[in-house]
Structure 1
């Protein structure tokens, strides 16, 4: 099982935790609301967990262009 962190905007793989047993509460998953979990976390058939987050580059772009927050996708 791996936990893979991908940018929700550009798709960049930000990081990956490869381990057979990972306590997701140590990663803070238990502090997310049900809505946040549904939006951010996907469970794959192979046992991997995909976490949709944001990379530094996209965060910087959003900081410079706050109007992009209104868009579902700002990278064309």
Structure 2
């Protein structure tokens, strides 16, 4: 088992399952505390995804600013 379990959820109309480190569990069979941790993991994963999107936006903006700066710098003449 790894330090950070890999969690994948599947939902269907009959029951919801979650796969943790390759083992499938019925959510209805987990303890209330375990279900709370599943929710915590899902929320955290969503926040990480949002942060990754924000980082991509900032990296794109930074590259555009760097290009714009390069266009505004005086040309370098060889000595």
TM-score, scaled relative to structure 1: 0.26
TM-score, scaled relative to structure 2: 0.25
* Structure number having the greater strand percentage: 1
* Structure number having the greater helix percentage: 2
Q: Which has the higher contact order (CA 8 A, sep 6+)?
A: 1
